[in-house]
A and B are shown apart, each in its own frame.
Chain A
């Protein structure tokens, strides 16, 4: 029932491009190294999936879908020849309206953007031309030693070069990803990386700072975890980095707007904000998740299954984690995801969506965590996490389930 302003259904679109030059040691995304043939078949399939999806929507009901944001994520989307990205964009535009101020982002990694198939100096020129307006660069660290530990394919210098190229191509809105709590890292080396990013000229509009999580199934976890474990900063050091990040970035004018995200005012990532504000989104490609008509589902994680699916019907049967969200589910997700953002959950927005006030739905829980000092409640009943609450967000969020 949401997002239907003036009879238009706004959606965020995520395109998953699961290709890497080499898999990073900590990465638990669905991605891998594939041949050019497979990359090509994958894009073809993805175009087909887009057609299938919109055809199915049109069959079911008449509606006016408008895409407000597009995000090319991976993997390393910048591995693909730029014309493949362009084909996907065109396919989306063929099928539905694109908002005039749509945010279109692509993730790139240093070391994958130089070669251009279209004869330009680098891929950024093409991205620019096809309408992409936001670049997200995985820098991760300014220390080559740390980059090596992570299994990244680039050096700190290559990042600088990539950043300059993007700027030169006219990209105004750039995000830089940095990581902390890396093996062997200390507060000082993290601070150095962070300041290096914030002091870039011109400044990136957006910075994401993630704590390294050693996930099961990654090489970090499988083989090196115990060896690395000794080298990982302890919890206190890790929190010092986290809390330090907000302070350091504030010096440069960045505001924290989500647990791991910072931007100059007005440059929050619209696409990601859609996830955190309960907006509808559609993911294309393997392992991509969607939320539409209060239904959440995830595409198959198997490249083989995806490529071999003969029709939309079979793609649907391969979906996992299919969940029809009840009103209660929607409410709790609205709060849980909303709390990730520093602005928190506005009572007026909650009321508009659910015809209930926050305190009517969650009075006791709010009371408890305000008492714990983890939650802040404004005069108007809106809630947000306190600084300490951000450290312990799961502890608070679980109670809203």
Chain B
């Protein structure tokens, strides 16, 4: 493969808003170029986790290499890199884009440009990628390709006249897309004789081969035996195997050289050594400087994860260890809660990442989990001049030791149809948003810009946005930095005892509202006891809200004769089973669901 002509390689990705058909187009490209027959195709080849298929989103970056015989008679190697499709994974997206030379922009012919379309296309343009648009779903009755073409030209400012009009789902216009890839995506450049310089855009842990590193070669050559150095993590290893990506399989080859996309293995034990964005070079003949853009991945959202059954703590630890092998952005450390026992404080890229990890733990490792309300990292400036990163509300120092606190803030772009501007602005206002401005994309659509505290958008902002705009708003954000803020710890007391796992940090202006809703929610969740159970919300020892679960008055079966006994026993067993799913705090039993109820405070709005 070393003598493959660079001019016959096309490294590209597809960018799109969620559900505009990115993965379907990828599948068509793979199918049409003959890598798989349509019979072998399972829907959406690249999304190979069950979870990805179910949710219709891409979580991990993937790559696939196919051969395309163009109309000019030449054979081209296509390296298609599928990027994750969610704001939680923006950094991974940026690294995947950096591995490409061009991008296909897929826009839904009915929906037009959405927030993620913009975010992703700007990201691609920032990486100097040549972008060409494709209008998808043109066979929908509501398709308006002409309008969308105009919108692309007006809003994004890239040429769209004459772009392929396709239906990825029904295989219309795919040939045009393939030809456009050859014509419009530039061939890679780079000197194969120069010292090795390759970009890691993802990695995967395999229990036989160790870490499989996904990379794009910028310069130089890599083959079996090359001693590689990861320039940021300083890890070194000797290459065991290099190869490229078939559909769902790794195909070994002799060597890979500048301009190519492929993988290597080197018996590396942990994905932490092969961080996304790091530069791989030859330890014996290193390149002068690493590729730009490497960032250490940082968790944005934290929550406590506990086994529902305390005895399963070792199982949870093993499962987290295994998941982390494959997910460098997941981190965890042990913690103890009075209410929940032994568990872990886990850090995630965002709420979706959290949900994915939680679901994988439950599904792949068969664990029943209790998670606490997710929070962000607050910076606590203490009076003694030290600063702590607060990930667990319970660790908030005494107010007397706190000088001030800071919270992370994002700049958000919300694209929406103009009729919902009022209600969405109201939502942003409720979430302590700072209005930055608004641009009209066209008569009926606008782009709202806000600065929002991250802790106001991590739980249910997406849902609220969806419901208040009837699905006509889309949303994207970037972390902007930290800002000083008047934050307080809201404590929940059940029967006068503080339940540590229910504490969370809020802005002082929203503390009352949150506290009240939390008490109301818990009143529904906590079963009646033999005694009255007060539920209180408190800030700094001052009670700000209260609800009461009335004492049990009656729990009796009036009739129980011969024929009722079986049924009665079943009833009692069910009751007993319910009790098992409770957590004992003081002398009150709290159902596991209650610890997650803080997530659903906005329900029913």
Q: Do residues B558 and A210 form an inter-chain contact, with CB atoms below 8 A?
A: yes
Give the residues from 523 to 566 in chain B that come closer than 8 angstroms, CB to CB, to chain A: 530, 552-563, 565-566
Bound CA span A372–B552, Å = 12
Question: Do B562 and A236 have beta carbons less than 8 Å apart?
Answer: no
Interfacial chain A residues near B556, Cβ < 8 Å: 211, 259, 390-394
Interface residues on chain B, number (Cβ under 8 Å): 23
User: For the complex, is B576 an interface residue (Cβ under 8 Å from A)?
Assistant: yes
In the assembled complex, the CB of A224 is this many whole angstroms from the nearest CB of chain B, namely 20
B208 → chain A closest CB, angstroms? 49
Tell me the minimal C-beta distance from B226 to chain A in angstroms. 66
**Is residue A361 within 8 Å, beta carbon to beta carbon, of the partner chain?**
no
Contacts of B1 in A (CB 8 A): none
With A287-B563, A401-B572 in contact, is A392–B558 under 8 Å at CB? no
CA–CA, A340 and B560, complex, Å: 9
A393–chain B nearest beta-carbon distance, Å: 5
The residue from A260, A275, A290, A395 contacting B555, defined by CB atoms under 8 A apart: A395
Q: In the complex the two chains form, is A281's CB within 8 Å of B554's CB?
A: no
Given contacts A275-B562, A289-B565, contact A239 B553 (CB under 8 A): yes
- Bound-state Cα–Cα, A392 to B563, Å: 22
A394 touches B571 (CB 8 A): yes
Q: What is the bound-complex CA distance between A242 and B563, given in angstroms?
A: 24
Cα(A162)–Cα(B559), bound, Å: 24
* B172 vs chain A, min Cβ distance (A): 52
Is A337 located at the chain interface by the 8 A CB criterion? Answer: yes
> For the complex, is A251 an interface residue (Cβ under 8 Å from B)?
no
Which of A321, A333, A390, A395 makes the CB contact (< 8 A) with B530?
A395
CB of B165, distance to nearest CB on chain A (Å): 54
Asked, given contacts A391-B554, A392-B555, whether A337 binds B560 with beta carbons under 8 Å apart, the answer is yes
Interface flag for B69 (CB, 8 Å): no
Contact of B561 among A275, A374, A390 (CB under 8 A): A275
Q: Is the CB of B572 within 8 A of A289?
A: no
Whether the Cβ atoms of A401 and B554 lie closer than 8 Å is no
Residues of B within 8 A of A239 (CB): 553-554
Q: Does B483 contact A (CB under 8 A)?
A: no
User: A260 touching B566 by the CB < 8 A rule?
Assistant: no
Q: Which residues of the partner chain B approach A211 to less than 8 Å between Cβ atoms?
A: 556, 558
Q: Check A260/B559 contact, CB under 8 A, given A323-B566, A333-B565, A398-B572.
A: yes
Chain B residues with Cβ under 8 A from A275's Cβ?
560-562, 565
Kindly state whether residue A272 has any CB partner on chain B within 8 Å: yes
Whether B530 lies near A289 (C-beta < 8 A) is no
Residues A392 and B530 in contact in the complex (CB < 8 Å), given A275-B565, A321-B566, A401-B569: yes
- The reply to whether the CB of A238 lies closer than 8 angstroms to some CB of chain B is yes
Question: Which of the listed residues A12, A287, A336, A398 has the most CB atoms from chain B within 10 Å of its own CB?
Answer: A398
Residue of chain B at shortest CB distance from A400: B572
Contacts of A390 in B (CB 8 A): 556
Measured between beta carbons, the chain A residues less than 8 angstroms from B572 are 336, 394, 397-398, 401
Q: Which residue of the partner chain B has the closest CB to A29?
A: B563
Contacts of B558 on A, CB cut-off 8 Å?
A: 210-211, 213, 259-260
Give per-residue flags for B573-587: 1 if the beta carbon is below 8 A from chain A beta carbons, else 0. 101100100000000
Q: Is A174's CB within 8 Å of the partner chain B? A: no
A283 contacts the other chain (Cβ, under 8 Å)? Answer: yes
Q: Given known contacts A235-B553, A391-B555, A391-B556, is B579 in contact with A398 (CB within 8 Å)? A: yes
Which B residues lie within 8 Å of A395 (CB)? Answer: 530, 552, 555, 575
Question: Which A residues are in CB contact (< 8 Å) with B562?
Answer: 12, 14, 275, 281, 283, 288-291
CA distance A288 to B564 in the complex (A): 10
Q: Which residue of A lies closest to B576 (CB)?
A: A398
Say yes or no: is A45 at the interface (Cβ < 8 Å to chain B).
Answer: no
Compute how far the CA of A116 lies from the CA of B547 in the bound complex, rounded to whole angstroms: 62
B560 touching A399, Cβ below 8 Å = no
**B573–A401 CB distance below 8 A:** yes
* Interchain CA distance A377-B558 in the complex, whole Å: 23
Residue of B nearest to A276 (CB): B560
A337 pairs with B553, CB closer than 8 A: no
Nearest residue (CB) in B for A392 is B555
Flag whether A296 is at the interface (Cβ < 8 A).
Answer: yes
**Chain B CB within 8 A of A140 CB:** no
Contacting pair B553 A236 (CB below 8 A):
yes
User: With A and B bound together, what is the CA distance between A374 and B555 in angstroms?
Assistant: 12
Does chain B have a CB within 8 A of A298? yes
Assembled-state Cα–Cα distance A289/B568 (Å) = 13
Q: Which of B554, B555, B566 contacts A298 (CB 8 A)?
A: B566
B551 CB, nearest partner CB in chain A, Å: 10
List the B side residues contacting A272 at CB < 8 Å. 561
Contact yes or no, B563 A298, CB < 8 A: yes
Task: Find chain A residues with CB under 8 A from B576 CB.
Answer: 398-399, 401
CA distance A16 to B374 in the complex (A): 58
Cβ of A173 to closest chain B Cβ, rounded Å: 18
Question: Nearest-CB distance from A278 to chain B (Å)?
Answer: 10
Q: Report which of B552, B560, B563 forms a contact with A283, defined as CB distance below 8 A.
A: B563
| B560 & A394 in contact (Cβ 8 Å cutoff) | no
Nearest residue (CB) in A for B574 is A398
Complex: A272 Cα to B553 Cα, angstroms: 26
Contacts of B561 in A (CB 8 A): 272, 275
> With the chains together, A298 CA to B530 CA distance in Å?
35
> With the chains together, A260 CA to B556 CA distance in Å?
10
Which parts of B97-123 form the interface with A (CB within 8 Å)? none
A217 to chain B, nearest CB (A): 12
Report the Cα distance A190→B364, complex, angstroms. Answer: 58
Contact of B566 among A14, A289, A336 (CB under 8 A): A289
A119 to B575, CA, bound (A): 53
For A235, the chain B residues whose CB sits under 8 A away are 553-554
> Which A166-211 residues sit within 8 Å CB-CB of chain B?
210-211
Closest to A236 in B: B553
Which residues in chain B, 44-92, are within 8 Å of chain A measured between CB atoms? Answer: none
Q: What is the minimal beta-carbon distance from B433 to any residue of chain A, in angstroms?
A: 42
Cβ–Cβ < 8 Å partners of A242 in chain B:
554
Is there contact, CB below 8 Å, between A296 and B563? no
Contacts of A337 in B (CB 8 A): 560, 565
**Distance in Å: Cβ of B526 to nearest Cβ of chain A:** 15
Q: Give the residue among B530, B561, B576, B579 with the most A Cβ atoms within 10 A.
A: B561
Are A392 and B565 neighbours in the complex by a CB distance under 8 Å? no
CB 8 Å contact bits of A231-251 with B (1 = contact, 0 = none): 000011011001000000000
Once the chains are docked, how many angstroms separate the CA of A240 from the CA of B572?
25
In the assembly, what is the distance between CA of A213 and CA of B554, in Å? 12
Smallest Cβ-Cβ distance to B552: which chain A residue: A392
Chain B residues within an 8 Å CB radius of A298? 563, 566
Shortest Cβ distance from residue B68 to the other chain A in the assembled complex, whole angstroms: 63
Within the complex, the shortest CB–CB distance from B587 to chain A, in Å, comes to: 10
Given the known interface contacts A272-B561, A336-B572, A398-B572, the answer about A391 and B566 at a Cβ–Cβ threshold of 8 Å is no
Please, could you name 23 A-B residue pairs with CB atoms under 8 Å apart, sorted by A? A12-B562, A211-B556, A238-B554, A242-B554, A260-B559, A276-B560, A289-B566, A296-B566, A298-B566, A333-B565, A336-B572, A337-B565, A372-B530, A374-B530, A391-B553, A392-B530, A392-B554, A394-B555, A394-B571, A394-B572, A395-B555, A398-B573, A398-B575
Known pairs A235-B554, A336-B572, A395-B552 / 6 extra A-B pairs, C-beta < 8 Å = A236-B553, A260-B559, A283-B562, A289-B562, A298-B566, A333-B569
* A contact residues vs B (CB 8 Å cutoff): 12, 14, 210-211, 213, 235-236, 238-239, 242, 259-260, 272, 275-276, 281, 283, 287-291, 296, 298, 321, 323, 333, 336-337, 340, 372, 374, 390-395, 397-399, 401
- Per CB-CB distance, the 4 closest pairs between chain A and chain B, nearest first, are A289-B563, A398-B572, A394-B555, A321-B566
